[in-house]
Amino acid sequence: MNKIFFSIVFLAILCLQVIQAQMPFNKIEPSKAQAKKMTTLSEFTAFNIPVYQHDIVYTHASGMDLHLQIVMPGYPSRDKKLPCIIYIQGSAWFQQPRFDKVTMFAELCKRGYIFASVEYRPSTVASFPAQIQDVKTAIRFMRKNAERYGVDVNNFFVWGDSSGGNMSLLATLTQDQPSLDTGEYGTESIAVNACVAYYPVTDVLRIQEFSPDYMDHISADSPTGVLFGKIPVMENPEKVKTVSPIIYVSREKASSTAPILIMTGNQDRVVPFEQSVIMADKLEECGYDYTFYKIEGGDHGSWEFWSLDAFNIVDNFFKENIK
């Protein structure tokens, strides 16, 4: 009896809420009341407070949910469709710190972007090419859900640092590589308008050539070795080179590839500066639209990359490539 009673009450409350939601909003006349002492405010500048969508699952692979951290501008910017930046966090392809740059995204999205930071399968869970496949799946997910998040489907950008910079380059340069893709959300495009790569890995077969002795980039236990299932890098060149963006650069694809911006410090102790130099020279040789910035004295992930000056460069680069 009590269950029936409470069910009826619940339905009555629900019906009342629906009726109230559908009632027209009656605008009232401004009050003419005057206090003895008061100041009237009538003009305001909107303060764009970003909205954070936490841990949005975009796919399930290798037994784990994969998430996006989505940061959107608040009102009034959300009244129109905005370009989307797919961000790929650096982590040597291991498990990524998913929330590290959310505050950075919040600041930059005030400039009119929607950010989606991608969690991809770590190398300890799945070997390459799982990581770049996940990035492309995330791009397609955001396009498929563009209406939900207020995304302009004609304006997608990709940006990453370190191993994330490696994958931002791969996502841009391997649009026509089925082996580095999946069929998930397959009707959606993975096209991007432009790519930013901070201190990226570009050629795994030459990374040790430029690295200090204390850095290991080629043993089975190195990040690249683990990425391919714990194999010695130099003993498996044909297999491991597939993660090197530089091998996908060609004259034939130059005119159809989105513009690329590379930014690297010349005192990088993790990914040698020369990795960016050889990539820039290859892009130059093949006629790509690219820009290369050297940060004098910059280290791997040092503060200069997250300065207002660097943000302005990236922001202007993206805006130059908005359709």
**CATH code at 108?**
3.40.50.1820
Q: Any idea which residue has 């922001």 for tokens?
A: 315
Helix (H, G, I), strand (E, B) or coil at 291: strand
Domain membership of residue 29 (yes or no) is: no
List of residues 6+ apart from 88 with CB closer than 8 A: 117, 118, 120, 135, 158, 159, 160, 161, 163, 164, 165, 167, 168, 171
Q: Pick from 131, 122, 223, 113: which is nearest to 168 by CA? A: 131
Per-residue pLDDT at 14: 40
Q: Other C-beta atoms within 10 Å of 292: how many?
A: 17
Residue span of the structural domain in which 80 resides:
51-205+246-320
The pLDDT of residue 21 is 41
On whether residue 184 sits in a domain, the answer given is: yes
Say what the pLDDT of residue 60 is: 97
Quote the pLDDT of residue 74.
Answer: 79
Closest residue by Cα to residue 224 from 138, 131, 302, 312: 131
**Neighbouring-strand partners of residue 263:** 198, 293
Structure tokens at 275: 């990795």
Instruction: Supply the pLDDT for residue 177.
Output: 93
The answer to whether residues 164 and 300 touch, using CB atoms and an 8 Å cutoff, is no
pLDDT of residue 212: 87
Report pLDDT for 50: 86
Report the interhelical angle of 163-173 vs 130-144 (nearest 10°).
Answer: 70
**194 contact partners, CB below 8 Å, separation of at least 6:** 157, 158, 258, 259, 260, 261, 317, 318, 320, 321
Distance CA 69, CA 60 (A): 16
Give me Rg for the CA atoms of the chain: 24
**What DSSP state is assigned to residue 178?**
G
Q: Would you call the peptide bond into 97 cis, given omega within 30 degrees of 0 as the criterion?
A: no
Please give the pLDDT value at position 41.
Answer: 86
Q: What per-residue confidence (pLDDT) applies to 186?
A: 86
- DSSP 3-state of 301: coil
Work out how many domains the chain is built from and give that number: 1
Residue 114: inside a domain: yes
Parallel, antiparallel or unpaired: strands 51-61 and 64-72: antiparallel
**Is 179 contained in some domain?**
yes
CA distances from 177 to 107, 129, 132, 172 (A): 35, 11, 11, 11
- Determine, yes or no, domain membership for 17: no
CA distance 57 to 145: 12
DSSP 204-246: TTTHHHHS-TT--SSSTTSHHHHHTTS--STT-HHHHGGG-GG
| Residue at 16 is within a domain | no
Q: Per-residue confidence of the chain (323 residues) as pLDDT tens digits?
A: 444 544 443 344 344 443 444 444 567 788 889 999 989 888 877 667 888 999 999 999 999 999 999 999 876 555 689 999 999 999 999 999 888 888 888 888 889 999 999 999 999 999 999 999 999 999 999 999 999 999 999 999 999 999 999 999 999 999 999 999 988 998 899 999 999 999 999 999 999 999 988 899 999 999 999 999 999 999 999 999 999 999 999 999 999 999 999 999 999 999 999 999 999 999 999 999 999 999 999 999 999 999 999 999 999 999 999 99
Q: CA 127, CA 255: separation in Å to the nearest integer?
A: 31
What is the reported pLDDT for 78?
59
Considering the domain boundaries, does residue 78 fall inside one? Answer: yes
Residue 209 CB-half CA count within 13 A: 11
Contacts of 237 (CB under 8 A, 6+ apart): 205
The pLDDT of residue 26 is: 63
Which run of H or E residues covers position 253?
Answer: helix 251-254
Residue 62 lies in a domain: yes
> Tokens for 223?
């990040």
